[in-house]
Structure 1
Amino acid sequence: MADERKETSESEVIEGMNVDEGVVGEVYGEEKQTQCGIGAWHPRRLQFCNSPIGFLICLCFFGFTQGMTVNGIVYVVTTTLERRFNLPSVQSGFISSSYDFGVLLVVVFVTYFGERAHKPRWLGIGALGFAASSFLFSLPHFTTGRYQYQTAGIDTCSLDGNATLDRECTGSSGGLSHYIGVFILAQLLHGFSASGIYTLGVTYIDENVETKRSPLYVGLFQGMSTLGPALGYLIGGLFLNHYTDVTIDQESLTISSDSPLWVGAWWLGFILTGCMALSIALPFLMFPRSMPAAKELALKRVSQTQKGSEFAARAGYGNALKDFPKASLNLIKNIPFMCVNGAAITEWFIISSLATFGPKFMETQFNIPASDAALKTGFLVIPASLCGALVGGWIVTFFNFQYRGMIRFCLGSLLFGFCMLPAFSIQCPNVPFAGVSVAYSNTGNIERDGTLDSNLTASCNTGCGCSTTYDPVCGTDGILYYSACFAGCLETGEINGVEKMYTNCTCIGNSTIDPEVLGGSAELGRCPQSCSKETLYIFLTFLQLLGTFLALVPSTMASIRCVSHDQRSFALGIQSLCFRAFGTIPGPVVFGALIDRVCVLWQDSCDGSACLIYDNKQFGLTALLLCMMLRLLSIFFFIGALAFYKPSSNERISVVDVDQNARESVHKDDTA
């Protein structure tokens, strides 16, 4: 009732005054632009959310969801997708890169025209699109039918048959690898929808909080965003422990999550994140174009723009379109800004490559299941990313670093991380694999080239009629065999009704004196490996990641400080274009191609090829050399960003453009 009396009194005062109705409408129109609501509905009880903190919470949730999906769960399920849909690493690398390609296609236009548009509304529409994209990514699970894992076609050696290493493919036997098109399309749509999170979202925060406090807000946002991938690793790993067909009783399966034939519930994570994105869309659509304090804050802001890079955007979409070439050239000529972009390219090349294949690196080097590798990677990334972003933002805020201070801080952080890169030289030896890394018993030395024909057949399994399906067994000699059949096992038995034990294996040395026993025995599954270096690797990698994420917030703030105020969103868009076109897009593809070169055993099928065994030493050396080279380039670029910076004279930013934008947009809310 008090609110109603207040509204009535305000109306009576206005009616009693001799005021131009157009002026009154403009005043109420400007007030409407700073209130939460949709259309003409702006309830007073909703206005407590109309603050930078309220927007920050929503932006953090969206950034968390985005990171959890495309930088967490997608990477975790990469190995599983390779197994389920028979994809080589190069193709699986394309899946993760497609997100960045989608962002690249639209980010420049989103940020250029979005600078003067209704930023929260654009983010709300993006959240809706992101939800639809996540649901699309999970679609192949529902259209491919149940996963039928295949153990070796002939479990044991049949001496009256002929070894058959080739599979005849019919026209209807393949096709699963074609689903890569669905994954790529979903990732492209993810990119389209999320292109405004780290550009329009960051600049909306920057224009609605004090300049000194802005890095802290951005640090909180980046921290939550980097927490998303970490939690994505954890949740994705937990889902992978559940069989892909959740309606099946796992106790009835003859394999466990430790088996290389296991396919976990990779699709559940995308259902979850789709629902999360859907829930945040409406709050974004209700935020105003600008908050009440935006004009006052603009009056207090001091320019740190690079000298000669000042730019004033003209009002109207027509003028904005005409000014697009000039605005782009103005940023390209800004040498400090482009140097920061160069560092962003090299750093994101590293991050995207290791994020995609980091779990595979741990799985291979330390001989652990894919689900365990994902969980351990998540536990590694969570504290490093969260502490790095939060501490980096807090340090910039506490010391009130200007542009030069931010760049120096980035240099120190990356130098610290560089010293931790030798973590990739820590590796465990490959498990001895018969016909791949060691010779079969009494068959002489072998030449390892990763082909089935030259490596896996030997005199002890000739004529066994073995299938090429990978179903490894561990012999009593501590050697891993491709299958029980290739180990020459003639008999089988069961332990606890599930685990299989094979006996009379002619390729395994006989440890008994019984003349009726032709060979040793083997147990289904991979051979256990004891390696004490895993803890050291995790510790050094944590420090390396901490140094990387410490530089995240200051580098972002430096990027928008050295450009004109009217080009903040566009600058972040150009930066996103650069590091995605030359960093995150080619990164996983290049790294995937490099590690495919160190694969020593492929499994070919009618649907494609997938690597089964990597050379651990070469895998680690490849990762080490690539990261060291790129990190040195990052340091070089930051030195250039510091050396070429020449600030313009300290002038306070005019509020004219801010005021003009608000007036111009009063009647354009629905079209923004």
Structure 2
Amino acid sequence: MGSSSALYPGERTPLLEREVKGGFVMAGKMNLYKTFFNTFTFVAMFTISSLALTTSSGYLSSVISTVEQRFQLKSTESSLLFTVDDAVSFSTVLFVTHFGNSASKPKLISFLFLLVAIGTVFQTMPHFLYEPPGSIQPSQGGRGGGGGGRGGGGGGKGGGTQLSDQFLCDNSSIVIDNCTSKEIMNSGALWNQVWWLYLGKALAGFGISINPLAITYLDDSPARSYLPIFIAIIYGFRSTGSSIGGFIAQQCLSVPASWPLVTSDTVTNPNDPHYLGAWWLGFIPISVMAFCPALLLFFFPRVMSASGDSNKTPDKSSMESDTKTSRRRGRRRREREDPNKSIVSEDTNAITTQEPSSRVRRIFSAIIGFFRALFRVMRNWVVLSLIFADHALSFSSFPDGTFAAKYLQYEFHLSAAEASAVRAWTKLPMIFVGYFFSAFIIMIGRLKPRGTIIMVAVCIVCAALLTPAKLFAGCKNNPIAGLTVPYDYTDIEDKNVWNADDRNLTATCNADCYCPSGYNPVCAPSGVTYVTACHAGCTDTMVNTIGSKNVTVYSHCSCYDELFVNSTGERSTLSEGVCATDCTWVYHFALLMMTSLLRNIMYSPSLMSKVRFVDEQDRSMIQGLDKFIKRFLVTSPGPIVYGILFDKSCMLFQTSCGKTGNCLVFDIERLRKLLFGVATAFASVSAAGAVLTLFLVFLRMKRERPLQAETQAISKNTNNSNSARETALDSGESPDIIESDVSEAQQGYINYGAIDEPADTGF
């Protein structure tokens, strides 16, 4: 009984003190706790979990074309995946950053990261719950399969034929649309399956509000002098998430979606238009990356103590203080359980009844404080113009960011895995160089807020000047019969413009073939690509062995033979795949690297300028407002706008049972002009905003010069007065008059500063 009584709050000898006296057991535990849970460990854990958040987004950006193929989504529909998390974020970021400023930031950060991990797992669920639709089922049977033929691709003519036979011209029978209920359900966008991805992205949206809380938590720590380094580490590694997601996507898309259950009927060639990569696989390690550090972040203290305290042994007074704190917390818990809700005063034993109105007043006061902080920040014109310029540039970067892998895949005829790798290798080196170079310049140059703003403005203007060059760094459309060239096209160097209104896949040479609406391209020796062998009028197929590979070729192709028959009368054969082009992505690669470098250089100084140009109490608010504006005006509408541009550039959609799905063939010239035309417009707006920010900064400097001159004059007068006072004291004279002059000078300085120096809150 004696030992157990030490557990009660009323025990005279605190339990912690008894353990310390018994051998410093608890002291050792507390030393171990402080040794591990310090500022640098927090930065490491937060960086890993934050890296998982951006890796998830980068991974989805890299597999988005495969997701569109799997769920038969148009670009406008798939772009909603990049907006749902932002919609959740801008709906909650201001409240999370404001009210989270008074909460335990590590615990709140841990909880939000756990939501991110759960949401990432949800995005894998469609793979385990649903079968792929017949239009992309990696089965080798059924006419009209692969790519959305009539009847969806499950049944139809030739149920046991090879995939190459499905697209042959067959004028002996007419394929009639006769879809079953299952085929109708699996036609068009598969919203009944893809909603899992939207739910997962919505949960991940709560994690976007984390960064302002972490920056404020670190800025309040004893190691705040290392804040530029912390920002460089966090945002530097966080930005690598996009590239890491690309590398993960490259590996995952290199294996079929049915992995590890790969059968002989599974399409395993990544260049085959019917190939479906393992889009779901990468979400699993990413969720683990977010979950494990989030658990450790929960145990960090509310306020980080000095690093030197971790080596100190707790003394008796600190133990008693901890025990008193524990008693107060226990008393409060008992009072909450008491129906009378009485509160025992800390200093006296008076008991007062908590009035409900006091709680209402506290809530009302918190709301008033929120809007006051928002009003103070909205008056800071320098920061607002900087935010405007920064986010206009962000809007112009979607073709290089969210849709980079998709654009590279279709513009330069790469596989999904290859496009992901190119995107990742383009960005990764520039991230490290840009972030650490900017941190080095800031620390070595000891740049103040004005200097960092100038640095940001220069980077924005340079990036804006490079954007229009991407309009000319691309490829020309492949000659595709019926889409980009007419069926009677013979000159590969013909420069005549093909009118989009003239597009028609049916010609006299294939009118009797009743071709399906799928996409299984074949290449003619003339360099012209046909959508399918059926559209080329081919009636026969054979397999040739070239080295160790079996190559399928098509013969008796009426659309080609009508135009090209050699002098001996022999008929040529058409091979599978799109005709090769000599277009290169090197120039686009170089421009992408340069703009990526500039954006990464400006990131840290931009963040520091926004934080340091406001009052200390508004640091979380300005970061929250920055995130809110970005989510509301950039990352929410941006993917939808660019998704519309992708759909506007589509020449051939997947079709099944009268419904359209994802795009199969893009007009890449039109796509490039639309994407980078819009990007150039917003980059120009960003450059104008950067110039406006510089003008406001220099105007502010001009207005502060009189104050600086007055301050220097007052300081000089004060020094002279102090010298005169010392002389008077040495000579034995009375210093009363001099003291009066000094007091008046100091009072004048205080009054002047109080009136004219709310400098960091605006003009």
Common fold by TM > 0.5: yes
1-structure distance, mates of 2:475, 2:271? 19
TM-score (norm 2): 0.72
Structure 1 partner of 2:484: 437
Aligned residue type for 2:410: T
**DSSP 3-state at the match of 1:520:** coil
Alignment CA distance shift 1:47-1:409 (3 Å): same
Structure 1 partner of 2:531: 482
**DSSP 3-state at the match of 1:420:** helix
Structure 2 partner of 1:9: none
Q: How far apart are residue 443 of structure 1 and its match? A: 10
User: Which one has the largest radius of gyration?
Assistant: 2
Structure 2 partner of 1:109: 95
Tell me if 1:156 matches 2:174.
no
Deviations 1:312-336 (A, max 9, x none): xxx9666323312222112112212
Higher mean displacement: 57-66 or 43-52: 43-52
Aligned residue type for 1:187: K
Structure 2 partner of 1:593: 644
2-structure distance, mates of 1:248, 1:499? 25
Q: How far apart are residue 520 of structure 1 and its match? A: 3.0
Aligned residue type for 2:452: M
Instruction: Choose which of 374, 380, 394 in structure 2 pairs with 1:348.
Output: 394
Structure 2 partner of 1:546: 597
Structure 1 partner of 2:423: 377
Deviations 1:398-423 (A, max 9, x none): 21211110110001112222232213
Structure 1 partner of 2:202: 188
Tell me if 1:630 matches 2:682.
yes
**DSSP 3-state at the match of 1:258:** coil
Contact 1:49–1:55 at 8 Å: present in 2 too?
no
Contact 1:359–1:374 at 8 Å: present in 2 too?
yes
Alignment CA distance shift 1:221-1:250 (3 Å): farther
Deviations 1:290-348 (A, max 9, x none): 1113999xxxxxxxxxxxxxxxxxx9666323312222112112212211221232132
Structure 2 partner of 1:418: 464
Alignment CA distance shift 1:527-1:160 (3 Å): same
Deviations 1:501-550 (A, max 9, x none): 111111113444555x5x53212222222224x11211121001111111
Aligned residue type for 2:210: I
Instruction: Choose which of 548, 553, 557 in structure 2 pairs with 1:505.
Output: 557
1-structure distance, mates of 2:362, 2:296? 27
Tell me if 1:327 matches 2:373.
yes
Contact 2:232–2:435 at 8 Å: present in 1 too?
yes
Instruction: Choose which of 66, 72, 96 in structure 2 pairs with 1:80.
Output: 66
2-structure distance, mates of 1:195, 1:41? 37
Q: How far apart are residue 226 of structure 1 and its match? A: 0.5
Instruction: Choose which of 241, 244, 248 in structure 1 pairs with 2:261.
Output: 248
Structure 1 partner of 2:51: 64
Alignment CA distance shift 1:337-1:201 (3 Å): same
**DSSP 3-state at the match of 1:501:** strand
Instruction: Choose which of 441, 450, 454 in structure 2 pairs with 1:404.
Output: 450
Tell me if 1:582 matches 2:629.
no
Instruction: Choose which of 234, 241, 256 in structure 2 pairs with 1:221.
Output: 234
Q: How far apart are residue 465 of structure 1 and its match? A: 2.6
Structure 2 partner of 1:470: 519
Deviations 1:111-169 (A, max 9, x none): 0011121111111111211111001111111111256143366331113234x6x8455
1-structure distance, mates of 2:637, 2:407? 19
Number of residue-to-residue matches in the alignment: 594
Percent identical residues: 25
Aligned residue type for 1:504: H
Instruction: Choose which of 426, 435, 441 in structure 2 pairs with 1:395.
Output: 441
Q: How far apart are residue 589 of structure 1 and its match? A: 0.6
1-structure distance, mates of 2:86, 2:308? 35
Tell me if 1:564 matches 2:615.
yes
**DSSP 3-state at the match of 1:323:** helix
Q: How far apart are residue 170 of structure 1 and its match? A: 4.6
2-structure distance, mates of 1:62, 1:340? 29
2-structure distance, mates of 1:372, 1:224? 23
**DSSP 3-state at the match of 1:77:** helix
Alignment CA distance shift 1:332-1:42 (3 Å): farther
Alignment CA distance shift 1:73-1:227 (3 Å): same
Aligned residue type for 2:559: C
Contact 1:461–1:486 at 8 Å: present in 2 too?
yes
Contact 1:420–1:541 at 8 Å: present in 2 too?
no
2-structure distance, mates of 1:557, 1:116? 22
2-structure distance, mates of 1:410, 1:469? 49
Alignment CA distance shift 1:555-1:621 (3 Å): same
**DSSP 3-state at the match of 1:218:** helix
Contact 2:453–2:606 at 8 Å: present in 1 too?
yes
Tell me if 1:172 matches 2:182.
yes
Structure 2 partner of 1:10: none
2-structure distance, mates of 1:42, 1:425? 64
2-structure distance, mates of 1:428, 1:446? 15
Contact 2:86–2:631 at 8 Å: present in 1 too?
yes
Unpaired segments ≥5 residues, structure 1: 1-20, 29-36, 297-314, 652-672
Contact 2:100–2:213 at 8 Å: present in 1 too?
yes
Contact 2:386–2:690 at 8 Å: present in 1 too?
yes
Contact 1:93–1:356 at 8 Å: present in 2 too?
no
Q: How far apart are residue 602 of structure 1 and its match? A: 2.3
2-structure distance, mates of 1:131, 1:475? 49
Aligned residue type for 1:265: A
Structure 2 partner of 1:208: 221
Contact 1:243–1:250 at 8 Å: present in 2 too?
no
Structure 1 partner of 2:298: 285
Higher mean displacement: 279-288 or 593-602: 593-602
1-structure distance, mates of 2:501, 2:73? 17
Higher mean displacement: 198-207 or 317-326: 317-326
1-structure distance, mates of 2:670, 2:171? 38
User: What aligned pairs does 1:74-153 form with structure 2 within 5 A after superposition?
Assistant: 74-146=60-132, 148-149=137-138, 150-151=145-146
CA RMSD, 1 decimal: 3.2
Contact 1:489–1:521 at 8 Å: present in 2 too?
no
2-structure distance, mates of 1:635, 1:204? 33
TM-score (norm 1): 0.82
Aligned residue type for 1:556: L
